[in-house]
Amino acid sequence: MSATDPLALDDTIAALATAPGRGALAVVRVSGPSAFALVETVAAPWPPAPRVATLLTLRDPRTGERIDRALVTCFPAPRSYTGEDVVEIATHGGTAVPAALLAALAAAGARPAAPGEFTRRAVLHGKLDLAQGEAVGALIDARTQAMRRAALTQLDGGLSRRVGALREALLHVEALLAYDIDFPEEDDGPVSRTRVADAADEARRGIDALLATVPAGAIARDGAIVVIAGPPNAGKSSLFNALAGEARALVTEIPGTTRDALEVVVEPAPVDGRRAPWPLRLIDTAGLRDTDDRVERLGIEVSERWLRRAHAVLACGETIDDVQRTIDYVETITDAPVLPLLTKQDERRAPGAERGSSLGARRSALDLHFVSAETGAGLHALLGAAVDAVDARWSAPDLPLVTHARHQHALAAAREELDAFAHAWRDDALPAPVAAVHLRAAVGALESVIGAVDVEDVLDRVFGTFCVGK
Ligand SMILES: Nc1nc2c(c(=O)[nH]1)N(C=O)[C@@H](CNc1ccc(C(=O)N[C@@H](CCC(=O)O)C(=O)O)cc1)CN2
Ligand SMILES: Nc1nc2c(ncn2[C@@H]2O[C@H](COP(=O)(O)OP(=O)(O)OP(=O)(O)O)[C@@H](O)[C@H]2O)c(=O)[nH]1
Ligand SMILES: [Mg+2]
């Protein structure tokens, strides 16, 4: 790394590790080759025992003025978060104390750390792989308990192990292929064409399984998108307001009131003491109907866009036929679970047919919910059913969730390369060395997830497994 590199590893970096502002404590972290020498100019008596929090006096070395009394912990390399010498200084909180300390450290030669630079160093020193490094950020950003769990699994190496195993499998296929390229005439030798194809196929299924967790990952990260759909005037906005517990959306008796989509985040109340690990993102949308009104038409297009992203749909209507029409329409747009519900099921409504026994078989076939925005009837059960429907459709219990777009794109790229490989290999469409290029690209895509870039691995395998004696 050159001396002009803004993130040079031979610099010693310092930064506030806790959120800025008023608080009981502030932790300043220092990492790098001169961490101990630098802090020694500020903290006394020096040195404290390694890995023992020790109460020291901090002074500005330029003036000798006392800054604070603080708990200082030294972590000699390599047993530290970054793998370098690290010092953590826990001062009194607020703004003035840590600012004075950081100024003193800067005067002593510490460079202010760039965002994420401590974790970046942890990756560069092999303490974490790339996906684990990203998990640290995701854990800090987690707003839902499901996201906390997903990030922690990723930090523990859950995703990395899966991707690493898939990479290993592909390296094995590469080795088989290398043998085939070297000895193409041995068609029925140790490497049959189907063996290579099957091994590649299995890896492809593994990648598909990970990609299938993307919706669950999105739900963990942002909550489940639950779209309220139905004809104009069905009571969608009233339902939205009732579920939100506040009058967020305009409600009128005029059909076509809602145009833009509105969103509110709802934490469903626990069912049987069980709390949903993610919130619901309720989306109120324009009523669905054929219309010549340009603005209303735009609103319906917005509805359709949300339906495409939906994790579940509340299909509303005042009559069974309306509900059925809504379901039929929604199902042309999304395969997300659809919860049918009859709205306005309260006393103030003129007694209609829909609650009567004439509903018959169709009602039970639909598994209808009966709700009233006016009285709140059925709302609690509806939210519980929405949580269950999302969970049943999207949960991926035994796999680490793919929550980063970067990982999704890399996995999708690997998937495409494997498709291209399978095509070239199975159909004999292209010579083996060309097929091998796709395989290499698939390996590269997987490596970009975890940051593994060791060509030695392939070489070891090619020559280790086959021992071709060249
Ligand atoms: N005070 C403090 N709390 C913290 C952190 C920190 O850096 N400092 N962490 C920062 O994110 C998290 C904990 N993660 C950490 C991970 C590794 C090491 C570490 O020192 N690893 C060494 C030694 C391991 C050992 O002795 O068992 C190593 O890996 O060699 C420290 C914290 C959350 N809490
Ligand atoms: N009695 C009763 N009336 C309701 C209920 N929900 C909605 N309404 C009435 O039905 C009319 C339409 O309600 P909205 O919530 O605006 O209907 P919407 O589906 O959002 O309509 P658009 O935005 O036009 O698509 C209003 O006059 C509401 O007061 C309910 O639960 N009970
Ligand atoms: Mg509305």
Cβ pair 225, 321 in contact under 8 A = no
Query: Which letter does DSSP use for residue 53 in this model?
Result: -
Q: Give the pLDDT of residue 466.
A: 39
* Any ligand 2 atom below 6 A from CB of 228: no
Amino acid identity, position 275: R
Q: Give the pLDDT of residue 424.
A: 87
Residue 211: how many CB atoms within 10 A of its CB?
16
The residues that bridge with 75 in the sheet, in sequence order, are 86
What spacing in Å lies between the alpha carbon of 445 and ligand 1's midpoint? 30
Nearest residue by C-alpha to atom 4 in ligand 2: 344
Distances (CA, A) of 257 to 245, 344, 409, 469: 20, 17, 39, 78
In sequence order, the 6+-apart residues with CB closer than 8 A to the CB of 242 are: 373, 376, 379
* Any ligand 1 atom below 6 A from CB of 80: yes
Amino acid identity, position 193: R
Cβ pair 261, 303 in contact under 8 A = yes
Q: Give the pLDDT of residue 464.
A: 45
CA 349 to chain centre: 45
Distances (CA, A) of 449 to 123, 401, 460: 13, 13, 22
Pocket test for ligand 2, best of 228, 238, 318 (most atoms within 8 A of CB): 238
* Any ligand 2 atom below 6 A from CB of 373: yes
* Any ligand 1 atom below 6 A from CB of 81: yes
Nearest residue by C-alpha to atom 23 in ligand 1: 79
Q: Give the pLDDT of residue 356.
A: 44
What spacing in Å lies between the alpha carbon of 443 and ligand 1's midpoint? 31
Angle at 462 between CA 457 and CA 463, to 5 degrees: 105
Q: Give the pLDDT of residue 1.
A: 44
- Candidates 131, 203, 141; CA nearest to 122 is 131
Ligand nearest 139 Cα, by number? 1
Nearest residue by C-alpha to atom 10 in ligand 2: 235
Q: 3-state class of 265 per DSSP?
A: strand
One digit per residue, pLDDT tens: the chain, 470 residues? Answer: 445 677 888 999 999 999 999 999 999 999 999 999 999 999 999 999 999 999 999 999 999 999 999 999 999 999 999 999 999 999 999 999 999 999 999 999 999 999 889 998 998 899 999 999 999 999 998 988 889 999 999 999 999 999 999 999 999 999 888 877 776 665 555 567 788 889 999 999 999 999 999 999 999 999 999 999 999 999 999 999 999 999 999 999 999 899 999 999 998 877 777 788 899 999 999 998 888 888 888 989 999 999 999 999 999 999 999 999 999 999 999 999 999 999 999 977 765 545 544 455 555 567 899 999 999 999 999 999 999 999 999 988 789 999 999 999 999 999 999 999 998 887 766 777 888 999 999 999 999 999 875 545 444 544 443 333 33
* Any ligand 1 atom below 6 A from CB of 121: no
Q: How far apart are CA 30 and CA 223, in angstroms?
A: 36
**Ligand 2 atom closest to 234 (CA):** 19
What spacing in Å lies between the alpha carbon of 299 and ligand 3's midpoint? 11
Cβ pair 67, 94 in contact under 8 A = no
Predicted model pTM: 0.84
Burial status of residue 463 (CB atoms within 10 A of its CB: 0-12, 13-18, 19 or more): middle
Q: How far apart are CA 164 and CA 11, in angstroms?
A: 32
Cβ pair 274, 267 in contact under 8 A = no
Burial status of residue 382 (CB atoms within 10 A of its CB: 0-12, 13-18, 19 or more): buried
Nearest residue by C-alpha to atom 5 in ligand 1: 81
Look at the block and give the residue holding tokens 């939205």: 240
Q: Give the pLDDT of residue 353.
A: 47
Q: How far apart are CA 112 and CA 118, in angstroms?
A: 11
* Any ligand 1 atom below 6 A from CB of 75: yes
User: From the annotation, which residues make up the binding site?
Assistant: 29, 88, 127, 233-238, 252-258, 284-287, 470
Q: Give the pLDDT of residue 470.
A: 36
Reported ipTM: 0.86
Nearest residue by C-alpha to atom 10 in ligand 1: 81
* Any ligand 2 atom below 6 A from CB of 347: no
